[in-house]
Amino acid sequence: MSNLTGVVRLLKKEQDGLTRELRGIGAALAAFGNAYGKGTSKKAVGSSKGKDRSRTERALGKGPGERRCSG
């Protein structure tokens, strides 16, 4: 059983090291994006009427652009 405990301990140590590395890579990519990104793109803002229509279509299980048949 102590052998299994040692393996688990080693795996945890490796996981911690990899997590640290990934955080560093993420920080480097964020810094790179901030320095070299376009910086001009903005999030599209829709009208409240369009948002309400989308919310209603989702609630009815319809896809975008589908209309009800009146008949």
What's the CA gap between 53 and 66, in Å, rounded? 11
In a domain, 30, yes or no: yes
Q: Give the domain extent around 5.
A: 1-36
4-21 residue pLDDT tens: 999 999 999 999 999 999
26-65 residue pLDDT tens: 999 999 888 887 665 556 666 777 777 777 787 777 666 6
In a domain, 47, yes or no: no
What's the CA gap between 67 and 9, in Å, rounded? 58
Q: Enter the tokens of residue 35.
A: 């320095």
In a domain, 61, yes or no: no
- The tally of domains found in the chain comes to 1
What's the CA gap between 60 and 30, in Å, rounded? 39
